A = this chain, B = another copy of it.
Amino acid sequence: MTIRDVAEHSGVSVSTVSRVLNNHPDVSEAVRSRVLASVQELHYVPNNSARDLVRSQSDTIGLVVRGVGNPFFSAVIRAVEQSVSQAGYTMVLHQINTEDNELLAGASLARSKKLRGLILLGGCFDYTPEQTAALDIPFVCCSFTNSFGSLNKDAYSSVSIDDQAEARRAVEILVRQGHQKIAVLLDSTHDHSVSELRYHGYCQALAEHGIPLDPDLVAETGDFDMAAAYEGTCRLLEQKKEFTALFVIADSMAVAAMKALHDGGRRIPEDCSIIAIDGIDMSTYTVPTLTTLIQPQESMGEEAVRILLDMVEERAGNRHVRVSTALRAGGSVAPLN
């Protein structure tokens, strides 16, 4: 059974069968269905070993995901896996907790799996050249960059949003609705992570509108998970300072914050507006739908693979791509009464 048999059976060319089997987008649904029906009927199994033999080096790309429960990463992982496969490479996934070291994990994976390149999905923003020295393959930081570190721009690649500017934009949306007492829910104000950057954006927006920063309205959770976000919001409600709006640094945390606000007797958005950044599927289905700045998860994954393979195949060097968010106006933000 060869690809020719499948082509003959389904009445298309060998190259069309190949395009279908490799998930290329430029095939009509009708042809795709016909080819897959033939593949199934003939019990054909694509044999890639010839291609594997020709390629003298490993074809493996590593993906180290830091923050295993983060729903924001799901769509990115999917896009990376598909882009890597379509390019004829294999993706090896390694997932670590936020307290683990992604560079160490990546370097270990690179050696043991003879990686050609590495994508880090989630990580620290403060790498030093010493820390990355152990990584002797190209790597791309996906969803973060080296804002607090000392790497040369040409020593690493990145795909990210401008976290500080996007956080500033989110908080400005609240200010424009008349809110002045705006609380923030974050992991930490000084963790050299996405949390610290988005906190700076919050501070910047307040400063630009002459709103004094109130430390009582800054809720640090010490973690990115939903349980910590729920607890952090409860603490905000327990202290006596009033707030009419809440900026949460991540959608998943915002879902938990909405629950805590509800359990604390606050109506959203009547008693408290809420806005976040990320844009996960689930936050479309909160009541009300969460207003958020959506990161383009799929294109971030695809772009990370494109940058990495350009380096692996020696077409280009390190580069940095900034992507923009898109506002999803849900029902969680309202003008101040």
Q: What is the interface of chain A, defined by CB distance below 8 A to chain B?
A: 21, 36, 39-40, 43, 45-49, 51-52, 68-69, 71, 74-75, 77-78, 81-82, 85, 90-95, 101, 104, 107-108, 111-113, 130-131, 133-134, 226, 230, 252, 255-256, 258-259, 262, 281-282, 284-287, 289
Find chain B residues with CB under 8 A from A21 CB.
Answer: 108
Instruction: Contacts A36-B101, A101-B36, A287-B258 given; indicate if A43 touches B131 (C-beta within 8 A).
Output: yes
Given contacts A78-B95, A259-B289, list 4 more A-B pairs with CB under 8 A: A46-B112, A82-B95, A85-B94, A262-B287
Among A36, A51, A68, the one with the most B-chain Cβ atoms within 10 Å of its Cβ is: A68
Instruction: Contacts A93-B91, A226-B284, A285-B256 given; indicate if A130 touches B78 (C-beta within 8 A).
Output: no
Q: Can you list 26 residue pairs at the A/B interface with Cβ under 8 Å? A: A21-B108, A36-B101, A40-B101, A43-B131, A43-B134, A45-B107, A46-B108, A46-B112, A47-B111, A47-B112, A48-B108, A48-B112, A49-B111, A49-B112, A69-B281, A71-B71, A81-B94, A90-B113, A91-B93, A226-B281, A230-B285, A255-B285, A256-B285, A262-B287, A286-B286, A287-B287
Find chain B residues with CB under 8 A from A281 CB.
Answer: 69, 226
Find chain B residues with CB under 8 A from A101 CB.
Answer: 36, 39-40
Q: How far is the CB of A305 from chain B (nearest CB, A)?
A: 14
Q: How far is the CB of A39 from chain B (nearest CB, A)?
A: 6
Find chain B residues with CB under 8 A from A51 CB.
Answer: 112
Instruction: Contacts A49-B112, A255-B285, A287-B262 given; indicate if A92 touches B92 (C-beta within 8 A).
Output: yes
Q: How far is the CB of A115 from chain B (nearest CB, A)?
A: 11
CA gap between A262 and B287 in the complex, in Å = 8
Q: How far is the CB of A59 from chain B (nearest CB, A)?
A: 9
Instruction: Contacts A94-B81, A255-B285, A258-B285 given; indicate if A111 touches B45 (C-beta within 8 A).
Output: yes
Find chain B residues with CB under 8 A from A46 CB.
Answer: 108, 111-112
Find chain B residues with CB under 8 A from A68 CB.
Answer: 74, 78
CA gap between A6 and B206 in the complex, in Å = 47
Q: Out of B77, B85, B133, B262, which one reaches A43, CB within 8 Å?
A: B133
Find chain B residues with CB under 8 A from A39 CB.
Answer: 101, 104
Find chain B residues with CB under 8 A from A47 CB.
Answer: 111-112
- Name which residue of chain B comes closest to A106, CB basis: B45
Find chain B residues with CB under 8 A from A45 CB.
Answer: 104, 107-108, 111, 134
Find chain B residues with CB under 8 A from A78 CB.
Answer: 68-69, 95
Find chain B residues with CB under 8 A from A284 CB.
Answer: 226
Find chain B residues with CB under 8 A from A256 CB.
Answer: 285
Q: Out of B49, B82, B92, B133, which one reaches A90, CB within 8 Å?
A: B92
Contacting pair B287 A259 (CB below 8 A): yes
CA gap between A284 and B40 in the complex, in Å = 40
